[in-house]
Amino acid sequence: MTHDIVQLLSQLVAINSINPDLVPDGAGETEIAAFVAQWCRAAGLEVEIDEAAVGRPNVIAVARGSGGGRSLLLNAHMDTVGVAGMDHPHEPEIKGNRLYGRGSYDMKAGLAAILMVAAQAKQLNLRGDVIVTAVCDEEYASIGTASVVKRVHADAAIVTEATAMDICTAHKGFIWLEIETQGKAAHGSEPSLGVDAIAKMGSVLVGLEALGRELQAAPSHPLLGAGSIHASLIIGGQELSSYPERCVLSVERRTVPGESPELVSAQVQQILDRSGNADPQFKAALRTLLVRDYSEIAADAPIVQLLQQHIVAAGRQPRIFGAPWWMDSAILSAAGIPTVIFGPGGEGAHAVEEWVDLDQVRECADILLKVVQDFCG
Ligand SMILES: [Zn+2]
């Protein structure tokens, strides 16, 4: 077992854990999960391997409390994105105060920090449980955290995604929709027989663009601003010489707190209804493909207050902010666990050059340990 956080982080970065659903020959999380589980056992933690799917393990490690205290869940993902264009992605390199390598910043630094904190918490004989969930598949479909919340619950959670020592209390959700317009296939020379499904999508696209402008003009959330909508993919037609019988448009809607899946689909349905009222030949269907919740925690929630207090005590003035991108915190929040996001700084998530600030990694672990002591003690 390593007692030095930089050494532990180096060991984690050295293990290839590319998400295999993102990159076809990705190594997956089996090797890194075995390392994490072994490390946690050596630290005296209770360890359980939770297979979210075949070959996709989570590690759940608990510094069991003596009883009667609040429990805190610390969550970090083990998987990374691909390494195209990188020279030696899995040979961690320390230059000055930076550690370079794939996953150093997103988010093996956060993983190293919570492992160190749980190991130290074990020595402190706290009353509440400290639960580490090192999860798979955050970079693709989040089956890891989705599986974890079926097994563990806690009074609060911290996801240690990189925030440059600021406090992230909210992030946007997203919803994928599909709109299909129906036409009538016919020979291209027979306008009286054919109905052009692609042309019928025209008024839908105009309506979506207008809805996007309306949303942007009325920001409703103090940290996240406005929701948004955009067209992503469009497919239609059989061949050049025929009227197309169908056209399928994929649409992405990014949501802010207060925007439910029902509201989102009603807004788009209204566009389809308007087109239908204006054009008796217009026929369309709307489907919701995927819903990913937004995440939000009140700034005066105990875990946020405690975190803020200890960051300030460390001499910083943390910003409370909302992130536009999606994180596993939404799954924890939806499971009824008040969840905040806090981690170190660096650069290059998903980029060719990725590094994390080692002073901030150490500082992050120190702050988290104090939060754990106060929350679970
Ligand atoms: Zn991440």
Beta pairing partners, 98: 95, 357
CA of 371 to the centre of ligand 1 (A): 22
181: nearest Cα among 168, 167, 170, 195: 195
CA of 224 to the centre of ligand 1 (A): 19
Please give the pLDDT value at position 1.
57
Q: How many helices (H) and strands (E) does the chain have?
A: 9, 19
The residue assigned the tokens 């390199």 is 93
CA of 53 to the centre of ligand 1 (A): 20
d(CA 285, CA 276): 11
CA of 77 to the centre of ligand 1 (A): 7
List all residues 6 or more positions away from 353 whose beta carbon is below 8 Å from its beta carbon: 86, 100, 347
CA of 79 to the centre of ligand 1 (A): 8
CA of 108 to the centre of ligand 1 (A): 9
219 residue type, one letter:
P
289: nearest Cα among 179, 140, 137, 145: 179
CA of 95 to the centre of ligand 1 (A): 23
d(CA 221, CA 230): 19
CA of 161 to the centre of ligand 1 (A): 6
Please give the pLDDT value at position 2.
61
CA of 350 to the centre of ligand 1 (A): 9
CA of 63 to the centre of ligand 1 (A): 24
What b/e string do you get for 114-138 counting C-beta neighbours within 10 Å, with b at 16 or more? bbbbbbbbbeeebebbbbbbbbbbb
Please give the pLDDT value at position 3.
72
**What are the Cα distances from residue 132, in Å, to 63, 152, 217, 323, 344?**
8, 10, 41, 23, 18
Tokens of 377: 């003690």
Question: Residue 215's CB: how many other CB atoms inside 10 A?
Answer: 21
Per-residue confidence of the chain (377 residues) as pLDDT tens digits?
Answer: 567 999 999 999 999 999 999 999 999 999 999 999 999 999 999 999 999 999 999 999 999 999 999 999 999 999 999 999 999 999 999 999 999 999 999 999 999 999 999 999 999 999 999 999 999 999 999 999 999 999 999 999 999 999 999 999 999 999 999 999 999 999 999 999 999 999 999 999 999 999 999 999 999 999 999 999 999 999 999 999 999 999 999 999 999 999 999 999 999 999 999 999 999 999 999 999 999 999 999 999 999 999 999 999 999 999 999 999 999 999 999 999 999 999 999 999 989 999 999 999 999 999 999 999 999 99
CA of 159 to the centre of ligand 1 (A): 10
SS (H, E, C) 87-137: CCCCCCEEECCEEECCCHHHHHHHHHHHHHHHHHHHHCCCCCCEEEEEECC
CA of 317 to the centre of ligand 1 (A): 24
- Give CA angle at 359 (354, 360), nearest 5°: 70
DSSP single-letter state for residue 155: S
CA of 248 to the centre of ligand 1 (A): 32
CA of 19 to the centre of ligand 1 (A): 12
pTM: 0.92
The residue assigned the tokens 């197309």 is 244
Would you state the CATH architecture of domain 5-171+294-376? 3-Layer(aba) Sandwich (3.40)
Burial class (CB in 10 A: 0-12, 13-18, 19+), 291: middle
d(CA 68, CA 1): 29
CA of 138 to the centre of ligand 1 (A): 7
d(CA 363, CA 311): 9
Would you state the CATH architecture of domain 173-292? 2-Layer Sandwich (3.30)
103 Cα distance to chain centroid: 15
CA of 326 to the centre of ligand 1 (A): 9
CA of 18 to the centre of ligand 1 (A): 12
Query: What residue segments make up the domains of the chain, in order of their start?
Result: 5-171+294-376, 173-292
Contact 102, 13 (CB under 8 A): yes
CA of 188 to the centre of ligand 1 (A): 50
Q: How many residues make up the chain in this entry?
A: 377
19 Cα distance to chain centroid: 14
CA of 163 to the centre of ligand 1 (A): 11
Strands 130-135 and 72-77 turn out to be parallel
**What are the Cα distances from residue 238, in Å, to 130, 181, 195, 262?**
58, 14, 13, 33
d(CA 99, CA 251): 38
